[in-house]
Structure 1
Amino acid sequence: MNLLLAEVARATQRLADAGVPSPRFDAEELAAHVHGVRRGELHTVADRDFDGRFWEAVARRAAREPLQHITGRAFFRYLELRVGPGVFVPRPETESVVEWALEAVRAMDVAEPLVVDLCTGSGAIALSIAQEVPRSRVHAVELDPAALEYAMRNVAGSRVELHHGDALTALPELNGQVDLVVSNPPYIPLEEWEHVAPEARDHDPELALFSGQDGLDTIRGIERTAFRLLRPGGIVVVEHADTQGGQVPWIFNEEAGWQDAVDHRDLNNRPRFTSARKAPL
């Protein structure tokens, strides 16, 4: 075993002792980042090239600073995104939301589907749809100026049109025209602050995490925005906490003009997002 692999093994134990959920993966990612190689190439780093900054990175991760803040990047589907302090780090569970949204868009009989991503953060959802549905027209909305800076860097050169604004009042010029509204909004109840993982609680912006006493304030607002933006028959899909699976579909109820409101489960079989269709005229 070369020196770097031996140090990765030691770092794995240190991260495990610190309560990091994926210690081996994180240790390898940090080693690869510091040494400028891929995880599968760690064995190629000669002992003389070992960089002591690896242990500085490990110490930061052991203090529960997000891995993505240390490396400056996050992987999401087929994307590598720039992230850091001030922007929500996209999570794997949101990939299930995007997968469902992509299938919904592809099933529409629309040559150039119009899509709006509310609370875009890093731009992960908007960029994924723009990349994987080549003829789509994608708008992304973000309120937080710090997050907007990251989104601007990530969407640069893409077809995504980025807007600085409030998701609850955004894009009135698109009223009644949008085929799909998608969002990963803040949805954590304020009373659950102390139970949130330190990587999120201490590093993700509060604006991207918490939304009222029951966590549903922003989703309630997005319901009204989505209804305003969507054409008749258009679809909304919104991520939520797995504990909110019985509540969110009721927000998109028939009395409010919706049809087919239903929850969907992620790869771990937990209720993770709700979709609904705006009722035809």
Structure 2
Amino acid sequence: MTSLSQALRWATGELTAAGVETPENDAVLMAGHLMGLDRGEVQAKAIIGADVPQGFEPMVQQRTQRVPLQHLTGTAPFRGIELAVGPGVFIPRPETELLVELATQRLRADLAEGIGRPVVMDLCTGSGAIAAAVAHEVPQARIHAVELSDEALVWAQRNLAPYKRVELRQADATEVPGDLVGRVDVVVTNPPYVPDSEPPVSPEVTDHDPAMALWGGGADGMRLPVAIIRAAAQVLRTGGYMVMEHAESQADAVHQAYEGNGFTSVELHHDLTGRPRATSAVLAAGEPESDGPDVNHHQHGVQQ
């Protein structure tokens, strides 16, 4: 391979043969990472016959082994910011940006109503993606990002360091922090929710995403989501807002868990592909009802 254009064609063929879903895109992004250029600049360089960047071939070979692209570049784009990611943390997905959109809409409405410093909890923060994006877009908000995993916490600390209004807590998202009971305006969470009955098949997920970030517990994957909804009902103020990501198959179960824990105004939200992706609700006045068996908190990881 004597030119960048030849290298990109070769890489696209190799990645296609390996079953990578977006081979051409990944080839361009890897070249761009090595060259310090964006996608358009790489394509322009290819047209004028630029040289192949050093390290391109071994990086492509790693990608053919289904090492996630984000592990190779060390970054993941999310809602207009770049996050540091790598082994030990769940890679944030574009569809999770819907949670940020919904949470920021609610926060801006709260600010318009005179709440000067709304309080947010991002439960199962993982890489810190949601907390960082909300802090970036609503700098008035005070955010408590909660994560249990030691490995994920390292990445969250790195990604949240620039945001002084974010407090990172190492804790179980199913437990209720006493200092925040009834004080939170918005809870947002992308918890582990994969059902035992719907295991992922992508090698990037099965071989590289932490298991504790995936499995929700039980055939329907609802054990952890239900426990998190129950905990959120304790920290939210009356009229507070919660939004949770979930699997398509869990929409009805999440709706029921909200209603069983004192929430009202339950609303299902679809992502850009039209799939049921998240459900929001508002905490009503009064004591929540019990919803399902207690969870043995410390047997489950919580990570986004």
Is this a same-fold pair by TM over 0.5? yes
Aligned partners of 2:80 and 2:54: how far apart in 1?
Answer: 31
Structure 1 regions of 5+ residues with no counterpart? none
For residue 47 of structure 1, report the CA deviation from its aligned partner.
Answer: 6.3
Partner of residue 251, structure 1? 257
Instruction: Tell me the matched-pair count.
Output: 279
1:246 positional shift:
2.4
Q: Distance in 1 between matches of 2:208 and 2:133?
A: 24
Change (3 A) 1:183 1:48: closer
Q: Return 29-38 or 157-166, whichever deviates more.
A: 29-38
Distance 1:119 1:256 in 2: 20
Counterpart of 1:7? 7
Deviations 1:39-80 (A, max 9, x none): 222243786842341111111111111100000000001210
Whether 1:270 and 2:272 are equivalent positions in the alignment is no
Kindly provide the amino acid, as one letter, of the partner of residue 194 in structure 2: I
Bigger relative contact order, structure 1 or 2 (CA pairs below 8 A, ≥6 apart): 2
Cα deviation for residue 262 of structure 1 reads 2.1
Q: How does 1:25-174 map to 2 (within 5 A)?
A: 25-42=25-42, 43-44=44-45, 49-108=51-110, 109=113, 110-158=115-163, 159-174=165-180
Q: Which runs of 5+ in 2 are unaligned?
A: 287-304
What TM-score, normalized by structure 2, do the two folds share? Answer: 0.87
Q: What is the identity, as a one-letter code, of the residue corresponding to 2:269?
A: H
CA distance in 2, matches of 1:48, 1:279: 61
1:131 deviates by: 1.0
Identity percentage of aligned residues: 47
Cα distance per residue 1:187-220 (max 9 Å; x no partner): 1012333x43211111011110012121111101
What secondary structure is seen at the aligned counterpart in 1 of 2:70?
helix
Secondary structure at the aligned position of 1:84 is classed as coil
The Cα shift of 1:185 comes to: 0.4
Q: Which moved more, 1:205-214 or 1:178-187?
A: 205-214
Runs of 4+ in 1 over 4 A off after TM superposition: 45-49
- Mapped to 2, the partners of 1:216 and 1:12 lie a distance apart of 39
Deviation per residue, 1:132-152 (Å, 9 max, x gap) = 112110110000000000000
- Letter of the 1:274 partner, please give it: T
The Cα of 1:268 is off from its aligned counterpart by: 0.9
| Correspondence 1:191 to 2:203 | no
User: 1:170-181 residue pairs with structure 2 within 5 A?
Assistant: 170-181=176-187
Alpha-carbon offset, residue 6 of structure 1 = 1.6
- How many angstroms apart in 2 are the aligned matches of 1:44 and 1:97? 37
* Cα separation, 2, equivalents of 1:196 and 1:131: 34
**What is the CA–CA distance in structure 2 between the aligned matches of 1:170 and 1:16, rounded to whole Å?**
47
3-state secondary structure, aligned to 1:190:
coil
Matched residue of 2:66: which SS? coil
- TM-score, scaled relative to structure 1: 0.94
CA RMSD of aligned residues (A): 1.8
Aligned to 1:23: 23
